[in-house]
């Protein structure tokens, strides 16, 4: 069964409204991030914060439009954009950490690997949008948790609360994938969207409050 055809109208409305709210909040988040980065006065912060905020807007906007349109060609197009934007958000979330507190060899290595995987993921999903869903989700999770490879320098630079929020965000995204993959009950996909929003919130708080 095609992903674009498995939700009821009520489920589609719920998913669209939730991520529509997420899109609006993401615009506000981008504004706050830009203001904060300008205040810091470092070009690395300005660029990386802007990339992160933009990746949030892209994901929530594409998801909103995908669920908002009725079945048909337009919905299928935005379904692709919706799935592709997940890779963009993952790499976009890494960017502020890699270009500020990590930077150096480890920061640039992680950044290049993440965006390289994001590009490969975009190509993969562009070709096989309805296939290998579990495999693609596993790639999302592995990309997201690759941050543990740099946990020591992160722990040395971030406030403990920042680390807890970073982990909480990862857990939110990971737990949410259960509802993304499996049709456990009606509105399971909306529950996935709630977990995604929680993950984004936790990571925004880390970057906005604790990243220096």
pLDDT in tens, 168-211: 999 999 999 888 888 788 899 999 999 999 999 999 999 999 98
Give tens-digit pLDDT for 4-20. Answer: 447 899 999 999 999 99
- pTM here is 0.91
* Angstrom distance (rounded) from CA 63 to CA 54: 14
Spell out the SS3 assignment of the chain. CCHHHCCCHHHHHHHHHHHHHHHHHHHHHHHHHHHHHHHHCCHHHHHHHHHHHHHHHHHHHHHHHHHHCCCCHHHHHHHHHHHHHHHHHHHHHHHHHHHHHHCHHHHHHHHHHHHHHHHHHHHHHHHCCCCCHHHHHHHHHHHHHHHHHHHHHHHHHCCHHHHHHHHHHHHHHHHHHHHHHCCCCCCHHHHHHHHHHHHHHHHHHHHHHHCC
Q: Which residue has the higher pLDDT, 1 or 123?
A: 123
Question: CA of 155: how far to CAs of 72, 102, 113, 143, 146, in Å?
Answer: 48, 11, 21, 19, 15
Interaxial angle between packed helices 73-97 and 104-127, expressed in degrees from 0 to 180 and rounded to the nearest 10: 170
Read off the pLDDT of residues 18-68 as tens digits, 9 standing for 90 and up: 999 999 999 999 999 999 999 998 899 999 999 999 999 999 999 999 999
Tokens of 25: 């909040």
Return the half-sphere exposure (C-beta side, CA atoms, 13 A cut-off) of residue 14: 14
Q: Which domain holds residue 118?
A: 3-210
193 is in an annotated binding site: yes
- pLDDT tens-digit series, residues 131-147: 777 788 888 888 989 88
State the total domains in the chain: 1
Is 188 annotated to bind ligand? no
Q: For residues 28 and 14, give the distance between their C-alpha atoms in angstroms, rounded to a whole number.
A: 22
Say if residue 39 carries a ligand binding annotation: no
Structure tokens at 91: 């790499």
């Amino acid at each position: 069964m095609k992903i674009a055809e498995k939700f009821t109208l009520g489920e589609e409305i719920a998913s669209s409204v939730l991520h529509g709210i997420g899109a609006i909040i993401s615009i506000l988040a981008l504004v706050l991030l830009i203001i904060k980065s300008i205040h810091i006065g470092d070009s690395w912060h300005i660029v990386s914060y802007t990339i992160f905020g933009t990746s949030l807007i892209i994901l929530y906007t594409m998801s909103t439009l995908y669920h908002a349109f009725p079945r048909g060609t337009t919905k299928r197009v935005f379904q692709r954009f919706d799935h592709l934007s997940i890779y963009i958000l993952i790499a976009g979330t890494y960017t502020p950490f890699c270009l500020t507190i990590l930077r150096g060899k480890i920061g640039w290595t992680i950044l290049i690997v993440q965006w390289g995987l994001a590009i490969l993921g975009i190509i993969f999903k562009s070709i096989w949008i309805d296939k290998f869903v579990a495999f693609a989700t596993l790639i999302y999770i592995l990309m997201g948790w690759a941050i543990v490879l740099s946990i020591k320098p992160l722990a040395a630079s971030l406030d403990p609360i920042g680390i807890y929020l970073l982990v909480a965000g990862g857990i939110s995204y990971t737990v949410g994938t259960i509802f993304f993959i499996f049709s456990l009950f009606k509105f399971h996909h909306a529950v996935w969207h709630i977990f995604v929003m929680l993950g984004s919130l936790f990571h925004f708080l880390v970057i906005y409050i604790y990243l220096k």
